[in-house]
Amino acid sequence: MFTTARGTPTDPTNLTRAFTTPLRKAGLRRIRFHDLRHSTATLLLEQGAELVVIKELLGHAHIGVTATVYAPVRLRLQRDAIDTLGTALNGPAITGAANGDGDEPPPSVCSVR
């Protein structure tokens, strides 16, 4: 929660205005203040932070909410891990997908019996 100098809650419109001004001066595109929350969680996940820790930081009541919102990031990280393993084993990296959006589960390299 952000407060005024008097300790009262900041009006959301004033917070947006205060956030938009430095973005504009820096020549950055306009984003919502809430997008910072999503960016922080995504960066933490990409750096290896546990999903349960991110859940607690975001204040989600259930980990399923966190997992659902950040599922595309997790799938991309899985694909990156498989590519890294393929490179380590001197095999070709598995890259690209049918539609290339990174939301598909990692492909299976061998058949499961």
Q: What is the model's pLDDT at position 76?
A: 81
Integer Cα distance of 50 and 43 in angstroms: 12
Question: What value does the mean pLDDT of the chain take?
Answer: 82
Q: Is the pLDDT score of 97 beyond 60?
A: no
pLDDT at residue 70 in the model: 86
Confidence (pLDDT) at 12: 86
Number of Cβ atoms within 10 Å of the Cβ of 34: 9
If you average pLDDT over residues 28-57, what whole number do you get? 91
Say if CB 76 and CB 104 are below 8 A apart. no
Give the pLDDT confidence of 13-35 residue by residue, as tens digits: 888 888 999 999 999 999 988 89
- How far is Cα of residue 92 from the mean position of the Cα atoms in its chain? 27
